Structure 1
């Protein structure tokens, strides 16, 4: 039966799109599980390569390479390209976008006023000159409209970002009060033998992810990954 790998739901024959997430369905539940396992293996391989590169850089006395975050600053931990973007970051980006469009709008409206009042003289006259005035005015109005819409969206994101930050603080405090480096390694007792440092790190990170998803019912895998990396840094580094 058709199966949604994201929502873990089966559908009747003939359906091709999930009614909840609107994502494409796969042929069977087994196919979905195989696809998830492949994605997990690819992700773990990517993380292993990243950690190996960090260790090699550290052993050679070189600065540990870190990817740039959305703000252009170096993040504390390496993250894959499909990294979870926090709502606080989305809010900052949206607010910055609104400010930029306000500036553009103000400049274009000022230029339009100068053109209409003939303070600025165009080399073109007639219909061509009129068309330029209309275009500059339209750009200014459109920029203000986009800025207003972005500011409105940013205001809504600010509320969501505050709620997300409170939730994340609660989750981190809960985890750190419930698990330590020793208890995590004890849970992996017997699984860490003969593993390289990179593989041990991946085992620990995977366990943290599983604990978060199982105990806190986190449905967003990217969010779970982001939170697990933050916890890993606090516990093991």
Structure 2
């Protein structure tokens, strides 16, 4: 705790995993409370079992398309995205923590460079993982409006993770979230020829993303509350 205060930080933030129905008397939460942590953002881990019905994903994508096709393009990329998209993608990835609903926690944007991004892709490849990224681009301006990504095993492993999903505020309300996620999961499912568990985590207050994940068939499996201790 002293290290964070010395560094000029106003709070220490962490998360824990408990059973989905755990109450405040769960030992992990009691331990956290004893050390000054409070629940800042209730969150839930969700799983989707692959393979999935890719035809259904295509239908959901096509349904959403009527709301965005005249304004945006949606494309999916294996490995690194095209070089001209790497800088704007890094900017969106850096904004994710600050843009996502996190309750009482105030998070700063991260600084991610294209070099950082390419190294991350290289590290994933070396580990035997593949990265599938889906981008939404505004037709008129050519600017990146949103993204989502999955990192998962290209061989051996049985668990993948759908990480950041973000649509910029000016581009919300056009069903880009469902378009991004359906395209992303569909492509990953087609690349994965074995059973796999796709994981993601959402804050309870992020109702639009929770609704999308419910529609896609994710099931809640674990509580992942975000905890905070203020440095006073």
Indicate whether the TM-score tops 0.5: no
**TM-score, structure 2 as length reference:** 0.26
Q: Which has the larger radius of gyration?
A: 1
Normalized per residue, which structure has more helix? 1
**TM-score, structure 1 as length reference:** 0.25
Normalized per residue, which structure has more strand? 2
